[in-house]
Structure 1
Amino acid sequence: MMESQKYAIVDLETTGHSPANGDRMIQIAIVIMKNWCIEKTFTSFIHPGQAIPLFVQDLTNITDIDVQDALPFESHAETIYEMIQDSIFVAHNADFDLSFLQAEFKRAGLPEWKGKKIDTVELAKIIFPSSLSFKLGDLASDLNIPLDNAHRADNDAKATAHLLQKCWEELLTLPIITIEQLHKKSFQLKSNLSQLFFEALQIKRKTTSNEEHNIYYRKLAIKKKAELKTGNKQLEYPQSNADKIAFFQSKIPNFEERPQQFQMMDTIWDGLNLKKEVMIEASTGIGKTIGYLLPSVIYAKQQQGKVCISTYTSHLLEQLLTEEIPKIEKTLGCRVNVSLLKGMKNYIDVVQFEQLLKIRDFSYDETLTILQVLVWLTKTETGDLNEINVSGGGQLFIDKIRKNPDHHKKGSEPFDFYKRAIEESETADIVITNHAMLLADMERREPIFDQIRGWIIDEAHQFIQAAVGRDESIFSFTKWKYIFGQIGLSSENNVFANFHRVSLKKQRVSKQSLNQLEKKFMQMTKAFDETMNQIVQGMKQHSKSTKSYTKYTSFLQELNLNETLLKSVSKGIQQWIDLAEDAARQFSQEVEEIAPEHLVILEQWKYWTREMKMKVSEWEDVFLNDGVDSSTWVEIDRRNIPGSIQVYKKPIQVKDHIRKLFDPVRNHHGIIWTSGTLTVPNNKRFIADQLGIRDEVPIINLQAPPTYYSGAKAYIVNDMPDIQSVSQHRYIESISMAITRIVRSTEGRSFVLFTSQDMLKKTVELIQESELLNDYVLFAQGVTGGSRMRLLKSFQKFNHSVLFGTNSFWEGVDVPGDGLASVIIVRLPFSSPDEPSFKAKSMDLQAKGLNAFTNLSLPEAIIRFKQGFGRLIRSSKDKGVLVVLDRRIDTKSYGKEFLDSLPPISIQKLPLQNMVLELEHWYNNKHEERKQVDKNE
């Protein structure tokens, strides 16, 4: 019986990841649990027989002094071996802990430990599929598990034991039908979870469980839709400042009056009521979100209409829903009906998912994802697939179960989440969406938008980027080859082979049709390969005259591709699609009912046919539609030809497109554009013009009071060499030295901003060679693996860390509180003149007789500069320093515009040596202040 099962929950701290390379253990902890109670614990430091690397000391807080009197592993080996006998071995990332332990047992002359294992990472992914992270510290914080000192074995092992218990308790709350599915599909997992699921089933079958909060589709349990609570309390807008103060003071303890927030509220209130369009630049610190939410909610309730709030990232959407709306409800004392609306493809197609479950052979990643989806369906209110945190391989499976317009049937099944969202938005006061969805749905003129009475576009400067993303096309050689590989030939093991086999066996599709299909597929892929070969040859020819880096870049028109060949590819694909759809029709027409496993094969065939339909329109858009307002260029990495071929087509400007979308609602409803960065000093309408907003629309600038920035300083280092007058190597030596000294002065927590990936890489390499920052953890965009968000999370985890990034890193990155001590700007953030998208915009401006530097290059750089500073101070308690190493800010006439874009803070121009001394003095004072605050608290 599992209840009396003994679990040995183990955590190790080590000098590194590989015992084979000489890494050793520095601490071990074991928690023995029986009947879900902790029976005993064992913890000990272990002498590794070597120095502990500094980054491991930083991560674990275990120093050489901690282990100096500890015994080596051999002295504990038999005790540990005995302790974990007859147990299920449990660890967070069990493969690492168990394999390390086995290697240590072997070294100590003990036999290999035999037994079952449970990996709590794998288990937590299934049981808590929507967790943002499956790191132990993050799960502990989500589930209220005590973990004061992460990365210490004793604390981590206890936290893992509690996590196992929480997973078990949560498992028992799931519907029987879901646990049955989990058990049935769990035998392909990496750890022995099937036993755990079986035990849960035994218990559930003995108890009468209450499952009326679920609905069922075949063998899927789905959470029932919650009843919408409505209630329209009569709300009055607090007109005067005195009314606002009284209103907030009665609801919010320690309320601080912010005049700029009141001004923003009034501007929005007037804009909505008078159906005006207005732009508001609202700096951090004025309470922008409450500033637009409060008047929007009161207006929507009074008008019995809806206000649409659009923002840029999913993170901001979630923040609005989970943090800001509840604050407003509390303040107003009434429920706010909110609907989060996303594009159809964000939602799960339950019917499609149920059909795919019938396939037998899933990969590990697919199996894990299926188990996550099964559990998530019993919890989700929205059916939004973005709620599930899946691994890379699982993402392909998720893409197969997205709701698709082709599957969009009439009728309203209770588990159609997309319809649910539309229905909820009917009764909503506030509709929250993102820029991409707004652009798509306004373009399609979705009926829901006819009911909107006012528009708030938050992060308005990002609306330009969203519009570019909406209109851009990216051709990727590897994605095309992947699809061809999935479809394949009848002699291979893939989708067409399965379809071919069943069609002939059951005589559902004529042999002639299948032969035609295969012949057309071969013609189509041959023409595709010929085109790719032409692109490669054209790029090689063209790049002979350019600098020889690892990357070739050319505008498409410079390659003189054979148009007849380009057209033959698209014609061939279209003919294949027609034949493929005809074959699917023949397959479905037979009188005999299709067996479930054959239905799955048909659905897969239709899925890949739909993918090819999307690909043919992409091909025509990229290679055959010569857009006047767009630029198309090709990039190839010389180290991977033809695998690295990518073709980008981006609009040169999007203002006409945005104008066309908003013109039908202008003058009928209020439109408010707001952001922290909307203007630059000598070009107030730079963003407004790109958004296609008329000159008479006012821009209101609201800046937090100077006291908000009292913790900020800026330094300009005025003795750095001029990049034009020294070699690149000499310049990189100078900036490496400066960065090293600044980082040491602030003890890390530094962002370093470059404009060139090449310079970033060389600087990081030089700093690593010098070993001057060896006791710091360095993360570098394009050098350290992982996405932008992953780099940021890793950076935040360490006290002594430095993050090196290029221009793109600063868009929408947030590091609150003590997370950031300094922002170092190596080069003013101008775009590279060779970057194709920027080059195309410059050429377009020059053709119109305009100066590309003053009308594009400079304002873009100032906007980025403002955003770089904006990362530094996120609250009035933050302290941080901005350091500029680029002399041009001091020597060029435009430098003043960069400085004028900053809030009123102290700006000093100093040689490096003096600046470092100032910085050390300032930082030491900051430390003393912090200690004093902690003492007083």
Structure 2
Amino acid sequence: MNTQKYVVVDIETTGHSPAKGDRIIQIALVTIQDDEIIDTYTVFINPERNIPGFIQDLTNITNDDVKDAKPFKHYAAVIFEKMQDAIFVAHNTNFDLPFLQSELQRAEMPKWRGLAMDTVELTRLMYPTAFSYKLQDITAEVGIPLKNAHRADDDAMATALLFLQVKKDLENLPYETLALLHKRSFQLKSDLSRLFFELTQKKRDGQVENVTRFKGIPINARKRLKPLQATGQTAFDNWEERLESVFPQFERRQSQFDMMTAIQQALAEKKEMVIEASTGMGKTIGYLLPAVNHAMQTGKKVIISTYTTHLQEQLILKEGEIVERFIGSPVQISLIKGLSHYIDLPRFEELLHGEDESYDETFTIMQVLIWLTSTETGDLNELNVSSGGQFVLDKVRRSHLRKLSKLEKSYDFYEYALEQAKNAQIIVTNHAFLLNQRITEHSILADVDAYIFDEAHQVVQTAVSQHEKTFVYTQWKYVFGQLGTYDDRQLFAKFYEAAERAGFASVPELLQLESLFVKFTTLFDDISIELTNKFTAKFRGSRYKKCASLLTDLPLEKEPFVNLLRYLNEWIDLSQLMLQKAERMTEKTIEEQLAITDWRYWTEELMIKAVEFSEIFVFPLEQEVSWIEGDLRSLPNSLSLYKRPFEVKEIVEKVFGGVRGEKALVWLSGTMSVPSNERFIVNQLGIPASVAITKFDPPQDFYRGARVFVVDDMPDIQHVSQADYIESVADAVIQTVLVTEGRCFVLFTSQDMLRKTVDLIQDTGLLDDYMLFAQGISSGSRLRLLKSFQRFQKSVLFGTNSFWEGVDVPGDALRAVVVVRLPFTSPDEPIFKARSEMIARDGKNPFLNYALPEAVLRMRQGFGRLIRSKNDQGMFIVLDRRIETKSYGQEFLNALPNVKVSKVSLEKMVTDIEHWYNKHDK
């Protein structure tokens, strides 16, 4: 076989199943030889049946296009001949190849036999950080044109170009990486092992790559920042004029200049400052320029802490580049996150020596090998892996429980991030990292002169989340299943045999380890039964199946929990003792080392779980709340327990209390207050009352393109069933989407209501022409869903809590935000309940002092998604009538910018929007 010949195939069909009579309507073949496209072939095919309407819409191929074409059998011999002695390539071979084989069989041709390579699998490997592997998405990401997606000729050519690009990028990988990939490639679903073999043979000439090597694994050679020195230089000489000259399209905003001046002064005088900076005034540049200026003048570092990964990337890349252009010289900006974000290279190297347990494990290891040759950060969150692959990433995360040698530290990505931070002018990080720090003379914070918190209101939520402890029944059972007893022939049996052979543990010690394991797992089952019985008893007769209860509301005996913790801690102590002995032994086989490595990983997992178990059940702390959740239909499997603080003042004070008055602290957000409770956020953060909230508003005409609609003929949410309300919501969303032609956010407060609404909309078929992306239903992270939404002209994004804020969609990419319910937290939510009770004990009204301001704040954040510049246009649509029927409704409207509010029927709103767009499109 000539391995240099490939035939790239794409087909369009009447449906998804040849077994159900679906047929090909168009086929295209692109032949590649010696990395050149040498032939193309495309033809319409008469399927001898009607093409369904949705297929005509998708492909733009109509019945008229194929009526004069011949059936497949007329072209079968030509197609079969073109595929001879070639490797079959397609973007999802599991669809194209079976369809083609079925058509060949129907045409009484022999079955095609040969190797097949799938470019979906190939691109997932080569581009492991891409957000989507759909053909139109991945080709756009690598710069390949695809004008008419879902047309076989265009798709086949795009796939061929994609294949050539991936092949070229693979050729640029180091030889060692290719060899490691080839070793595992036999476990892949398509025949990519042949490709890796050819590439390794080609690569034997030993080309020099921009990589270093850790124990034979090529990793990206990272640039290192030089130590920071004060220049005394200022970035602010004539800075207003310079901004206008550097950026020809610069939009002068006095509020932005005023904010820069205020921050510059706060940094110089080491003051604490709270800023509310409205959307659209350029707040990122507004604090980044003064921060860089301060670092240049003083030689001291400034830390900028953000909430979202997206904003961190924006600061490093986009905004950092703008500042460098403004100053005319490089700016030293570094990024650092918490330890668990980074890959543990020694652990990954150990994993390479093992036998993979599944396709997902094999594939993820291969993705990581390729990613290591290019990643600057070593942040595992960059990778787009399957759910099974996520488990592999968790196994190779850095942990504070694992100590690295001096040599290992020299290659470690976290140590590299620390070094970069020590030499940077600006350190970009996240709230979670800062809240976990101790500000000592040896920490990276020692030389920091100022802290700027962007999205500062999120420090509250971060502090709560960072101190969360969990107890999830299925997770514990999974760990137990991985370890097992000797008779189970799981990891303990391998560890037992390795210990016997290598001599790092005696048989009595190993039997004691097994006995302790049996004791605490037996107690675990007893406790789970008790929790199930008490939980079931509390909610007997409930019409809801998914329930939650404060742990204090369930009468539980403490002794079994104490005993379980005692046995578990004894097991951990004995296991660690054995591991210490094992690590001191120099002569171990690969098999023994793998057993020890895996055992250490699961021991560390149980150490973490022991701490969480202790804090939830045995040593609960004041000002923290524990609760239990479960589905009554699947107990104990659905049991989950959580513990969180409901006050964060002390957490924030521990980290930053000592720097007040010595270093500058700037707390900045678009939503730091609500009209009826100005200090709602700052009081939670423990910011002194002497620190005022300084507000910077956008230009007067900034919101001229915004309209607010309150739909006043929606049913009252408190007086109809959920099903009736969802039906009305679905109708309102459909009509809104049709009149705005998509580009809508639909915001919910409940995942259950979101799912039911989306299901109903899909059942109607009225939005079949639109791409619907739904949080918790569509695959991918929040950022990936957002990118997918922005890729399509006619798209709708359904989101819950996390989409109410921190999402930036400028321009016409977002035309409407639909608020399904006023964003109140459920009164049964445990933390909300605990805080409300505490507020009530202080003689205050929990609704007015907590529930309402929190909901109003979230509403402001939701509105902030809509208008990002003065040229943006958009509708903010509220479907919850309580905004007009309840006395507190005006609080929500007062919190919005001064824009026109129309209280109208759904029909009138649709007409108004139509007229509004017609007027603005002229």
Question: Normalising by the residue count of structure 1, what TM-score does the alignment of the two structures yield?
Answer: 0.93
Amino acid in structure 2 at the alignment position of 1:579: L
Asked if the contact 2:226–2:423 (Cα under 8 Å) also holds between the matched residues in 1, the reply is no
Instruction: Compute the displacement of 1:68 (Å).
Output: 5.4
Indicate which of 391, 394, 414 corresponds to 1:399: 394
Instruction: Compute the displacement of 1:291 (Å).
Output: 0.7
Establish whether residue 304 from structure 1 lines up as the match of residue 302 from structure 2.
no
Corresponding residue number in structure 2 for 1:77: 76
Corresponding residue number in structure 1 for 2:188: 189
Instruction: Compute the displacement of 1:755 (Å).
Output: 3.3
Deviations 1:407-456 (A, max 9, x none): 32363553122222212212110011111111112478861111111111
Establish whether residue 495 from structure 1 lines up as the match of residue 494 from structure 2.
no
- For residues 705 and 362 of structure 1, the distance between their equivalents in structure 2, rounded to whole angstroms, comes to 60
Asked if the contact 2:260–2:286 (Cα under 8 Å) also holds between the matched residues in 1, the reply is yes
Corresponding residue number in structure 2 for 1:934: none
Corresponding residue number in structure 1 for 2:211: 214
Corresponding residue number in structure 1 for 2:796: 802
- For residues 9 and 21 of structure 1, the distance between their equivalents in structure 2, rounded to whole angstroms, comes to 26
Instruction: Compute the displacement of 1:828 (Å).
Output: 1.4
Change (3 A) 1:288 1:89: same
Corresponding residue number in structure 2 for 1:291: 286
Long gaps (5+) in structure 1: 930-937
Larger mean CA deviation between 550-559 and 285-294 belongs to 550-559
- For residues 311 and 224 of structure 2, the distance between their equivalents in structure 1, rounded to whole angstroms, comes to 26
3-state SS of 1:449 partner: coil
Instruction: Compute the displacement of 1:23 (Å).
Output: 4.1
Instruction: Compute the displacement of 1:472 (Å).
Output: 1.0
Establish whether residue 475 from structure 1 lines up as the match of residue 474 from structure 2.
no
Amino acid in structure 2 at the alignment position of 1:244: W
Establish whether residue 388 from structure 1 lines up as the match of residue 386 from structure 2.
no
Instruction: Compute the displacement of 1:82 (Å).
Output: 2.4
Asked if the contact 1:281–1:676 (Cα under 8 Å) also holds between the matched residues in 2, the reply is yes
Deviations 1:516-544 (A, max 9, x none): 11121111111001100001100111112
Instruction: Compute the displacement of 1:773 (Å).
Output: 4.1
Amino acid in structure 2 at the alignment position of 1:440: N
Counting only pairs closer than 5 Å after superposition, residues 556-575 of structure 1 correspond to structure 2 as 556-575=551-570
Establish whether residue 522 from structure 1 lines up as the match of residue 521 from structure 2.
no
Asked if the contact 1:779–1:803 (Cα under 8 Å) also holds between the matched residues in 2, the reply is yes
Corresponding residue number in structure 1 for 2:891: 897
Counting only pairs closer than 5 Å after superposition, residues 85-484 of structure 1 correspond to structure 2 as 85-205=84-204, 207-211=205-209, 213-228=210-225, 234-238=232-236, 243-409=238-404, 411=406, 413-442=409-438, 447-484=443-480
Corresponding residue number in structure 2 for 1:914: 908
Corresponding residue number in structure 2 for 1:672: 666
Larger mean CA deviation between 457-466 and 115-124 belongs to 115-124
3-state SS of 2:446 partner: helix
- For residues 669 and 473 of structure 1, the distance between their equivalents in structure 2, rounded to whole angstroms, comes to 32
Instruction: Compute the displacement of 1:63 (Å).
Output: 5.1
Change (3 A) 1:296 1:157: same
Asked if the contact 1:706–1:904 (Cα under 8 Å) also holds between the matched residues in 2, the reply is no
Larger mean CA deviation between 790-799 and 830-839 belongs to 790-799
3-state SS of 2:675 partner: coil
- The alignment of Structure 1 onto Structure 2 pairs a total of residues equal to 920
Asked if the contact 1:59–1:798 (Cα under 8 Å) also holds between the matched residues in 2, the reply is no
Asked if the contact 1:11–1:153 (Cα under 8 Å) also holds between the matched residues in 2, the reply is yes
- For residues 844 and 720 of structure 1, the distance between their equivalents in structure 2, rounded to whole angstroms, comes to 36
Asked if the contact 2:440–2:446 (Cα under 8 Å) also holds between the matched residues in 1, the reply is no
Larger mean CA deviation between 328-337 and 139-148 belongs to 139-148
- For residues 441 and 458 of structure 1, the distance between their equivalents in structure 2, rounded to whole angstroms, comes to 18
3-state SS of 1:221 partner: strand
Deviations 1:549-592 (A, max 9, x none): 121221111111121011111111111112222333444566x7
Amino acid in structure 2 at the alignment position of 1:616: A
Deviations 1:321-377 (A, max 9, x none): 121111111111111111111222222222222222111344222222222222222
3-state SS of 2:823 partner: coil
- For residues 443 and 690 of structure 1, the distance between their equivalents in structure 2, rounded to whole angstroms, comes to 22
Asked if the contact 2:817–2:875 (Cα under 8 Å) also holds between the matched residues in 1, the reply is yes
Change (3 A) 1:520 1:301: same
- For residues 569 and 380 of structure 1, the distance between their equivalents in structure 2, rounded to whole angstroms, comes to 43
Instruction: Calculate percent identity across the aligned residue pairs.
Output: 48
Counting only pairs closer than 5 Å after superposition, residues 604-623 of structure 1 correspond to structure 2 as 604-623=598-617
Deviations 1:632-691 (A, max 9, x none): 111111232211111111211212211232111111111111112211111111111122
Instruction: Compute the displacement of 1:614 (Å).
Output: 0.8
Counting only pairs closer than 5 Å after superposition, residues 761-910 of structure 1 correspond to structure 2 as 761-782=755-776, 788-789=782-783, 791-910=785-904
Asked if the contact 1:55–1:776 (Cα under 8 Å) also holds between the matched residues in 2, the reply is no
Asked if the contact 1:340–1:421 (Cα under 8 Å) also holds between the matched residues in 2, the reply is yes
3-state SS of 1:164 partner: helix
Asked if the contact 1:147–1:156 (Cα under 8 Å) also holds between the matched residues in 2, the reply is yes
Amino acid in structure 1 at the alignment position of 2:233: L
Change (3 A) 1:307 1:36: same
3-state SS of 2:10 partner: strand
Change (3 A) 1:445 1:384: farther
Establish whether residue 628 from structure 1 lines up as the match of residue 622 from structure 2.
yes
Indicate which of 538, 543, 551 corresponds to 2:546: 551
3-state SS of 2:346 partner: helix
- For residues 65 and 278 of structure 2, the distance between their equivalents in structure 1, rounded to whole angstroms, comes to 47
Larger mean CA deviation between 29-38 and 833-842 belongs to 833-842
Corresponding residue number in structure 2 for 1:44: 43
Establish whether residue 740 from structure 1 lines up as the match of residue 739 from structure 2.
no
Long gaps (5+) in structure 2: none
Instruction: Compute the displacement of 1:701 (Å).
Output: 1.8
Asked if the contact 1:146–1:159 (Cα under 8 Å) also holds between the matched residues in 2, the reply is yes
Larger mean CA deviation between 581-590 and 498-507 belongs to 581-590
Instruction: Compute the displacement of 1:699 (Å).
Output: 1.4
Instruction: Compute the displacement of 1:789 (Å).
Output: 4.5
Asked if the contact 1:58–1:798 (Cα under 8 Å) also holds between the matched residues in 2, the reply is no
- For residues 674 and 512 of structure 1, the distance between their equivalents in structure 2, rounded to whole angstroms, comes to 60
Change (3 A) 1:265 1:13: farther
Corresponding residue number in structure 2 for 1:935: none
Q: CA RMSD in A?
A: 2.6
3-state SS of 1:308 partner: strand
Deviations 1:94-153 (A, max 9, x none): 222223322333344433221111122222233333333333333323322222333333
Instruction: Compute the displacement of 1:305 (Å).
Output: 0.8
Larger mean CA deviation between 142-151 and 418-427 belongs to 142-151
Establish whether residue 697 from structure 1 lines up as the match of residue 688 from structure 2.
no
- For residues 351 and 385 of structure 2, the distance between their equivalents in structure 1, rounded to whole angstroms, comes to 17
Larger mean CA deviation between 722-731 and 421-430 belongs to 722-731
- For residues 78 and 796 of structure 1, the distance between their equivalents in structure 2, rounded to whole angstroms, comes to 43
